[in-house]
């Protein structure tokens, strides 16, 4: 390679790393659910992608070769048409369920940001009835500032949050159960998938005490249980520098 070509390649590498940040490679291992067919297959599915970058923290991918898996399609809704619901989301998630923290301009500011609300219709609690599930998408996954994509169950008219059903989905430690029902949802990214017709949801959290773990849950008969725990392992030399 000529010297000038070497310099160009070095510059391209530096620019790429600057533009996209540190993007480590690795694979998933199963720490809970080793006897579960679904859990074992889910790990095989994730590891079937040749290069797993950023540990699929923002959302998980399904390989079409694993035909027992499927996923609902999230559809963005017009948040301006659901002001009553937006106010509920701001109160529950942004203002710790405390009306005194709501400012007069907060609604307009929220509506004019890149935040989106995505909708799926799925039997999230496996009770043979379809639920409306909303994802509050901050569109900044992995960024240096606040990011998250919590999910919630809403009523059929999309006006109110079903708080109790949403608690099942968030699976967060509740600091003050009566005043902060959303719990600690920052830096948590959620996704929903089906395996052989049964609905599961998973949660990746970049919170300091949960980082590099992917938790898979299933709600059935009013109870939510963690059925799998996956750990992201770095390939040698790919560890994050912090």
pLDDT of residue 67: 97
- pLDDT class of 128 with cuts at 50, 70, 90: very high
pLDDT of residue 205: 77
Q: Residue 188's beta-bridge partner residues?
A: 205
Q: Pairing state of beta strands 223-234 and 213-220?
A: antiparallel
Q: State pLDDT tens for residues 65-123.
A: 999 999 999 999 999 999 999 999 988 888 766 666 677 788 888 899 888 999 999 99
Q: Where are the domains of the chain?
A: 3-234
Q: State pLDDT tens for residues 145-158.
A: 667 889 999 999 99
Beta strands in 72-212 (DSSP E): 75-77, 116-122, 131-137, 151-154, 188-195, 198-205
Of 169 and 210, the one with more pLDDT: 169
Q: Pairing state of beta strands 213-220 and 75-77?
A: unpaired
pLDDT at 39 over 50: yes
Residue 229, classed as helix, strand or coil, is strand
Q: Residue 5's beta-bridge partner residues?
A: none
pLDDT of residue 19: 33
pLDDT of residue 183: 64
Mean of the per-residue pLDDT values of the chain: 81
Beta strands in 48-197 (DSSP E): 52-53, 69-70, 75-77, 116-122, 131-137, 151-154, 188-195
Q: Which of 76, 60, 75 is nearest to 195 (CA)?
A: 60
Measured in residues, the chain has a length of: 242
pLDDT of residue 4: 40
Q: State pLDDT tens for residues 223-234.
A: 999 999 999 988
pLDDT of residue 53: 62
The tokens for 139 are 């569109």
pLDDT of residue 57: 77
pLDDT at 135 over 70: yes
pLDDT of residue 9: 33
């Amino acid at each position: 390679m000529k010297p000038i070509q070497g310099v160009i390649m070095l510059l391209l590498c530096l620019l790429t790393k600057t533009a996209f940040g540190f993007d480590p490679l690795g694979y998933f291992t199963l720490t809970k659910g080793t006897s579960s067919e679904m859990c074992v297959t889910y790990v095989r599915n994730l590891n079937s992608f040749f290069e797993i970058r950023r540990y699929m923290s923002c959302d998980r991918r399904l390989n079409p070769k694993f035909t027992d898996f499927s996923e609902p399609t999230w559809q963005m809704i017009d948040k301006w048409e659901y002001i009553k619901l937006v106010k509920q989301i701001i109160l529950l998630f942004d203002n710790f369920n405390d009306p005194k923290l709501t400012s007069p301009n907060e609604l307009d500011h929220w509506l004019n940001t890149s935040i989106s609300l995505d909708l799926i219709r799925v039997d999230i609690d496996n009770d043979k009835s379809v639920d409306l599930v909303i994802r509050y998408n901050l569109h900044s996954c992995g960024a240096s500032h606040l990011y998250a994509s919590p999910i919630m169950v809403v009523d059929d008219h999309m006006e109110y949050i079903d708080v109790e059903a949403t608690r099942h989905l968030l699976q967060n430690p509740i600091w003050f159960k009566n005043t902060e029902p959303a719990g600690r949802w920052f830096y948590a990214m959620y996704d929903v998938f089906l395996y052989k017709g049964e609905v599961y949801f998973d949660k990746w959290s970049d919170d300091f005490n949960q980082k590099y773990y992917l938790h898979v849950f299933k709600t059935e008969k009013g109870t939510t249980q963690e059925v799998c725990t996956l750990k992201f392992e770095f390939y040698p030399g790919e560890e994050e520098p912090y």
